[in-house]
Amino acid sequence: MFTAYAIITVVTILANAAIAVADFLRAGFVLANSAEVGVPETWLPWLASLKGAGAAGLLLGLLGVPVIGVAAATGLVLFYVGAVTAHLRARVYYNLAVPGGFLALAGASLVLAVVR
């Protein structure tokens, strides 16, 4: 079970770290998506910080502080529920799989962190 937890959590860490960097750099696809779902550009640094903190917390969980890992995974699940909700509210369905994929990774990391 630990192997599955480690693999899924590392993938989740890498994905969130990458998107946090893209948010901080204000990548074109990030700006376009944010505008489309109604997220103000001024929110990007805050959202990037939350994603980065989630990735860091998951890493701490892997390194032996399980309560931080569970808290980080829970935070990421809530974050991506909000992202999916923003897409649904704005009726932006064509790329709903992106926040849905991040939500699935965060959810899997949470479940595996709790049951390991």
Q: Output the CA–CA distances (angstroms, integers) from residue 38 to 16, 29, 43, in the order listed.
A: 21, 14, 11
Residue 39 has a pLDDT of 97
In angstroms, the CA 101 to CA 60 distance is 22
Angle at 95 between CA 92 and CA 96, to 5 degrees: 75
- Split into its structural domains, the chain has a count of 1
What is this structure's pTM?
Answer: 0.95
Q: Which domain holds residue 67?
A: 1-115
d(Cα 36, Cα 93) in Å, to the nearest integer? 11
What is the pLDDT tens value at each position of the chain, 116 positions in all? Answer: 899 999 999 999 999 999 999 999 999 999 999 999 999 999 999 999 999 999 999 999 999 999 999 999 999 999 999 999 999 999 999 999 999 999 999 999 999 999 98
